[in-house]
Amino acid sequence: MSFSPKKILIIFCLFLLRTSAFGQVYSTEYQAGGILKVVSARMQIDSDLVSTSETESEVGYQFGGFFRANINKVFVQSELLFSKIKSQLVFNDYNGVSGFDPIAEFEFNTFELPVHFGYRIGGLRFSMGPTFSVLVSGERSFLNEIQKVTDEYNKTNMMWHWGIGGDFERIFIDISYESGLSKTGESLSNLIGREFIPKQRQWVFSVALNILRD
């Protein structure tokens, strides 16, 4: 029996509601503030034509704001982030020329809207949920040519994240694992003329500051 992210989310939410129902007294707390994230992404490509560069990963950063609503041990957190991701890919024996391995560089600016559904166990927070991405601009550098490629890509896509974190007074630290679609993968179809289904995986480390007073 397979479980899609949507089914997992439904089961997780039912678990949270059932667990919170055992409490007789509900306490509500709100937190909000700024957040900064560092992203290390890796795309798995099943092809002899393309490989990752020596860095083997995409590196980027995200910054913005968050709002969290806590009801006992259950919480829901939403964020609005501006994201910049840079990556490199190597095209092996490009156009059939042996030993000609040009590098394509990509840069994407997006707005990210993560939604976290979570539960506290002791001093730890566990969460999961979708991340919606909206493309603002894209740029590709290939064969000494720089192109704006914003219109060549899907404007929106979605990733799915699982995370763990902790609160240290007003400082919140989290690490999460995300998987889903990749803008860089779309470029492969455009440059090579073949359709690729990229498998995007990325780790996200975040630090947030709560500015709401208790």
pLDDT digits (tens, 9 = 90+) for 146-198: 888 777 777 888 889 999 999 998 999 999 999 876 555 555 555 555 555 55
Residue 43's SS3 state is strand
Tokens of 81: 């982030």
Least confident stretch, 4-8, 77-81, 149-153, 175-179: 4-8
Helices (H), 127-213: 183-192
User: 0.85 exceeded by the pTM?
Assistant: no
Annotate 70-118 with three-state secondary structure: EECCEEEEEEEEEEEEEEEEEECCHHHCCCCCCEEEEEEEEEEEEEEEE
Classify 2 as helix, strand or coil. coil
pLDDT, one tens digit per residue, over 13-65 is 655 555 555 545 678 899 999 999 999 877 666 667 777 665 555 778 999 99
214, pLDDT greater than 70? no
Between CA 106 and CA 43 the distance in angstroms is: 13
Backbone angles phi, psi at 48, to 5 degrees: -85, -10
Find the helix or strand (DSSP H, E) in which 20 lies.
helix 5-20
